[in-house]
Chain A
Amino acid sequence: MTDRYRGTVVTLVLALAAPAAAAGSPDYSATVRPILARSCFPCHGPDGEARQAGLRLDDVAAARRVLASGAVAIVPGDAGASALVTRIEASDPDLVMPPPAGPHPLSAAERQMLRAWVEAGAPAAEPWALVGPVRPGLPAGGPGWIDRALEARFTAAGLGAAPPADPVTLVRRVHLDLTGIPPSPAEVAAYLSDGRPDRWERLVDRLLASPRHAERMATWWLDQVRYADTVGYHGDQDQRAAPYRDWVIKAFLDDLPFDRFTILQLAGDLAEPGPGEHPDDRDLASCYNRLLQTSHEGGVQAREYRAIYQADRVRNLSVVWMAATIGCAQCHDHKFDPFTAHDFYALAAFFADVDDEAHFKDGSNDLPTRRRPERRVVPPFARDEAAAIDGRLAILDRRLPALVLPPWAAPEVAEADETVALRIERERLAARRAALEEGVMVTRALAEPRAVRILPRGNWLDDSGTPVAPAVPARHGRLDPAGRAGRLELARWLVTPVAAGGQGEMTARVIANRVWAICFGTGLCRSPGDFGAQGQPPDHPEILDGVALELLDGGWSLRRLLRTILTSRAYRRSSEPSAAQLAADPDNRLLARQGRWRLPAEHVRDTLLAVSGLLEERLGGETSRPYQPAGHYRLLNFPQREYHADGDWRQWRRGVYVHWQRTFLHPQLAAFDAPSREECTVARPRSNTPRAALVLLNDPSFVEAARRLAEEVLRHGGPTDPERIGWLWRRVLSRPPLPAEVELLAGLVARRREEYRADVPAAAALVAVGESPRDEALPPGEHAAWTAAARVVLNLHETTSRQ
């Protein structure tokens, strides 16, 4: 690092640590505890079994006591008397801590930091995630509080704010963030010509209420609860879960409050019906408890898999709702966070009544496999049609004679033509009505919950451990129901405010952090699945607390929280960094500018299909099977799998509806980092690989998109090449091209036109890609040349980026 930058970085570190720091002492939560956690907790932390010398540094009060050796680790204000300081500063390799062979030695700056902290009296605090959000000491609440807080921070760090983004970038950004689909040129034009002062708020509200937004939010949630269409282990057979996916979309469409959203999923089968809810909703939502990976392999041992399933459920619950890695306490007490193995098994016990037993007996190789308990439902978006049919059937039944002739009785009297017609209609409607129903896994509570014991070292063969009853982690509080606490009590505890005995503020903070990430690319806490000692302390704790309270106070409305964030100045800033910002804050932790990132896998697909005019938008319903390389499922068995790509409208559905085969995810989704959904994913990586390039270049879905886009260009783009290129740019990128861009693409079109003039069969082959009909009036050569141009535009970095 050059000297020129060093000063800035020091300022930045201080700026990041600033809000809670007492004068003179390094901030415990932001800096001291993470160092202790990394380098010291493995041997001097929460895990009693691994603890050395009886010393625990995760509990500062305990660390002030005299140890068996006579030493005292921390004497506040007296570094010389504090063994912590003398040992980390020791020069004798036998004495120095941490031991030199260890993986995480302390740097000189860190040793200095710890000394300074002890000298300042070793002020400590509870782990930040265990402390409920406090009403920000900001000019509290009111419009603009987020901006006031952010601006104070980056101004103090000597950074200026990035200018507001230009309106076109902004419109494109908010469409991509909220819906996963870029705006049409008409939508861009409408915004630009809207003279009303609240045009931004109107746009945000319109998008938040759109079905596209509900589909986009579903992807966000389905990653977390590891929704998939197949069981995951071994034969990876299909399972019946799609109606749950549709319920999730419907919940976002209705802005179902997140507290109710939580209760219905964890305990819909036990909950009372809520006002305005459809009677099927509780069952549909309860499919959540059945989404884990299961095995239908012959020879699975029920005891072993019960242990695997309960651990899976604990991992998912604790990461999704608590951002806690309680899953680590399956075999031993947690090494870094205050969770014991007892906490782990007590959480598992909440799920001991989930009826999962049938598949151990009737595991089948059917597609879909049997995963009782299941029931048939009309999925949420088919309800209107079902109701209309039911109404018409009732009318028909009243009008048709009740008399049913036995089949052998030849009708003596020919029925009136009208009656025949009604009978035909009735039959057709009854068939359609039956086809609307789909199977879905549901939660049913066993009368007698399975016994749950602590499994020593996680070993399912060892049943010597203590039996445990359902309980929330001891450091998080207690449940005091009259009888055995169940899933319903657990769900309520997660969303009930602290003052009323729950965890609501903490849960809200976990969820609000992930909502923030939708708008800024990363959370305010950059480890959205781990708020523990090994995670990262939040960059802006007071803002994280603030958005958590907004969520809670706003009746758990995610839509309302999104609106608050999106109407901030921070959201609307340019994502183009100044040199000073790039140098001082390369990771954009201070948020003086917006971020840039590649679109999620499904939105890459949605965007390309949308701009080409191929996208088929219907809410919910049937799963989509896009073109897929032959043999992609060849390693699947029990049964052997044949993949048939859809030849109808389902081929061009949004990514959220694509068949999610856990063991062999569609290669397009996989190449763009969509997770297999074997486990919870709270933040997808964003890779940039040759594989993704090959998909965008050669996947028939995207070649077909280019071919269709070329048809649109030829029909609507105007008569000249430059006009057509301009049309392409506005359609795909929402902006006009630069002259240099026109020149480059025009060159390509001219070269490809030349090529296909000489090779008509090649042109015909290219424009024949895909099942969608082609406008045969277009000359193949010209169409193929513009298909090449469209492929270029669809492959641009900007096309699949959010800026």
Chain B
Amino acid sequence: MTPELLAIHRRTFLRDQGLALGAAALGLLGARPAPAAPGRDPLPGLPHHPPRARAVIFVCLAGGPSHLESFDHKPTLAARDGEPMPESITAGQPIAQLQGQKLVCLGPRARFRRYGACGAELSDHFPRLGAQADRLAIVRSLVTEQINHDPAHTFMNCGTALSGRPSMGAWVTYGLGSAADDLPGFVVLTSRLGRNPQPIAARQWHSGFLPGACQGVEFATAGPPVHYAASPPGVGTGHQADVVRTVQALDRIAAGTGADPEIATRIAQYELAFRMQTAVPALADLADESPETLALYGAEPGRATIGTNCLMARRLVERGVRFVQLYHSDWDHHDRIDAYMAEICPPTDRAVAALVADLARRGLLDETLVVVGGEFGRTPMAQANKGPVGRDHHVKGFSMVLAGGGIRGGVTHGATDDFGYRAVTDVVHVRDLHATMLWLLGIDHARFSVPHEGLDTRLTGVVPATPVVSLFG
């Protein structure tokens, strides 16, 4: 980078000029408190209270992993295996692919054992995560409202199934900004096994009606990491710097008239864009990680695996990124649940356990909230119409795992009924999960709203939501 480029420090520059980013956009949307630089600076008045977590890593096991083979041990369901599911439980409940079919109990397909001083129960698919049990909070009483993948993801991410609403990463980045000066504040990483995974829409990391700077940026672990972050062919770094510097110098002449505050913003954004071009390749290059670390995660440089992505997530929060969302697809086990779980769980177990352990040994776990789980769970009923047995989508009770960022370790929270069907004890709705995450980040969800189409819109919506305080350490 040239000295001239370095010389313009964005924040100083903006403060000196007394300018606001995206002023025109805000004018359109009406009177609204705005951060000086959306996605960079915090909103005035935030955080509401001292935060426990500085960053979030949300590992989405997309497709809906079975809670009954992972974190919710149901010995009584095993005793019912093969029996009809009592109609009193299922009557009038939403159902997906099992519509019109006979509903039969399917006992757990995995053994569970106890781990750590806390004695938390995890299935044999997750031994490495089990070894971290005293750092984990297992929530067994999640409920959601959407039974098909696409709307269920939207509900999990945006708190509503309506399109066009901001995702939680966008909300958090809007509210708190980001400490990363040369990377986006909200980054999305994806991986899959390669069978036939459910699609994931960019809606899941959209900024909705919040400023575009708060939108999640997809980061590819294989190939060019970020769209358009590489200079054109035949254009070296010095050349690109020259182009950017000349654009800025010419824009500064136009800014001289003072007529258009957006020009100053634009000059600053070209600066940031150029720095991103340098920072992104450095971030993506795993050469500075030790072989031990790569092995811990099961990371394979250049391959978009859950291991590589979990390691990348750590590198991102290390660099000040506020919100990292991983999608690991292929958890939609309508059939062959035994074979598919045996295939997908080991690398996932290794990577997520490594993430928790690695963050801890680097002193980052205390300030980084890790959340692991899918958009819904799976039925206690068998799905047998597609070959070897599997389970259908299920919304009335499922599990998630949280760690770090103010979460108390060694906790198992809530419970489903004997069938693993319905969350009955200490029920945690998706909006309670959102309220919990926001609280840990220093935000009172009820006071964090933006006027949109006639409503003070919140991530947690209009129905009351409560942070799950018993999870807090």
Contact = CB atoms under 8 A, between A and B. Distances in A.
A671 B251 CA distance: 20
Given A522-B28, A679-B163, A663 B199 contact: yes
Interface of A: 103, 232-236, 293, 295, 297-301, 304, 308, 319, 325, 327-328, 334-337, 461, 521-522, 526-527, 529-530, 532-536, 575-577, 582, 587, 596-598, 629-632, 634-638, 662-665, 667, 670-671, 673, 675-676, 678-679, 683-695, 697-700, 703, 738, 740-741, 744-745, 747-748, 751-752, 755, 761-769, 784, 788, 791-792, 795-798, 801, 803
A367 B150 CA distance: 19
28 contacts: A103-B449, A234-B149, A327-B453, A328-B454, A577-B259, A587-B27, A635-B329, A636-B199, A637-B196, A637-B198, A663-B201, A678-B164, A685-B211, A686-B24, A688-B266, A689-B269, A690-B270, A694-B227, A697-B228, A697-B231, A703-B232, A751-B242, A765-B234, A766-B232, A767-B234, A796-B250, A797-B266, A803-B260
B379 to A, nearest CB: 12
Interface in B189-231: 190, 196-203, 206, 209, 211-213, 215, 217, 220, 223-224, 226-231
Interface string B255-272: 001111011011001101
A636 B199 CA distance: 5
Given A632-B227, A687-B25, A638 B242 contact: no
Contact of A534 (B97, B202, B451): B451
Contacts of B117: none
Interface residues of B, number: 95
A631 B228 CA distance: 13
B233 A596 contact: no
Nearest to A796: B250
A755 B241 CA distance: 13
Contacts of A671: 212
A638 B197 CA distance: 9
Contact of B250 (A630, A690, A744, A769): A744
Nearest to B95: A301
Given A236-B201, A299-B148, A678-B203, A597 B24 contact: yes
B22 A688 contact: yes
A745 B260 contact: no
Interface in B337-384: none
B228 A762 contact: no
A377 B190 CA distance: 41
B277 interface: yes
A234 B148 CA distance: 9
Contacts of B110: none
B232 A300 contact: no
Nearest to B245: A748
A792 B454 contact: no
Contacts of B30: 526-527, 536
Given A301-B99, A686-B24, A744-B246, A325 B199 contact: no
Q: Which of A236, A686, A687, A791 has the most CB of B within 10 A?
A: A687
Contacts of A328: 453-455
A738 B454 contact: no
B145 to A, nearest CB: 10
Nearest to B456: A103
Contacts of A747: 246
Interface string B19-36: 001101101111000000
Given A587-B27, A694-B227, A529 B453 contact: yes
A636 B190 CA distance: 12
A791 B202 CA distance: 29
B136 to A, nearest CB: 29
A763 B234 contact: yes
Given A690-B269, A797-B251, A697 B240 contact: yes
Contacts of A295: 148, 150-151
Q: Is the interface of A mostly helix, strand, loop or mixed?
A: loop
Interface string B428-463: 000000000000000000110101011110000000
A678 B96 CA distance: 23
Contacts of A697: 228, 231, 240, 243-244, 273
Contacts of A536: 30
Interface in B35-77: 39
B94 A304 contact: yes
A733 B308 CA distance: 47
Given A297-B150, A686-B25, A686-B28, A534 B455 contact: yes
Given A299-B148, A461-B94, A697-B273, A526 B27 contact: yes
Contacts of A532: 454
Contacts of A765: 233-234
A755 B327 CA distance: 43
* 7 residue pairs, one from A and one from B, having the closest CB atoms: A766-B234, A687-B212, A678-B163, A765-B234, A663-B201, A693-B273, A534-B454
Nearest to B270: A693
A299 B233 CA distance: 47
Given A698-B228, A801-B260, A768 B233 contact: yes
Q: Which of A686, A740, A747 has the most CB of B within 10 A?
A: A686
Nearest to B236: A762
Given A629-B228, A688-B265, A769-B232, A664 B202 contact: yes
B271 to A, nearest CB: 8
Contacts, number: 271
Given A461-B93, A630-B224, A741-B250, 14 more contacts: A234-B198, A299-B147, A301-B96, A301-B147, A596-B259, A629-B224, A636-B199, A688-B24, A688-B266, A691-B273, A693-B269, A698-B230, A751-B242, A769-B232
A629 B239 CA distance: 22
A533 B209 CA distance: 19
A526 B269 contact: no
Contact of B163 (A293, A530, A575, A698): A293
Nearest to A587: B27
A285 B84 CA distance: 51
A501 B136 CA distance: 65
Contact of A797 (B94, B184, B213, B254): B254
Contacts of A690: 184, 213, 269-270, 272-273, 276
A796 B247 contact: yes
Given A299-B99, A301-B94, A797-B262, A685 B29 contact: yes
B295 interface: no
A635 B190 contact: yes
A710 to B, nearest CB: 13
B14 to A, nearest CB: 12
B253 interface: yes
Contacts of B24: 521, 597-598, 686, 688
B212 A598 contact: no
Contacts of A327: 453
Contacts of A763: 234
A688 B259 CA distance: 17
Nearest to A330: B162
A679 B164 contact: yes
A71 B190 CA distance: 61
A684 to B, nearest CB: 8
A634 B222 CA distance: 12
A31 to B, nearest CB: 13
Contact of B27 (A522, A598, A664, A670): A522
Contacts of A700: 232
A638 B259 CA distance: 50
A747 B246 CA distance: 9
B114 to A, nearest CB: 36
A674 to B, nearest CB: 11
A461 B151 CA distance: 17
Nearest to B163: A678
B8 interface: no
A375 B263 CA distance: 49
B199 A236 contact: yes
B1 interface: no
Nearest to B275: A690
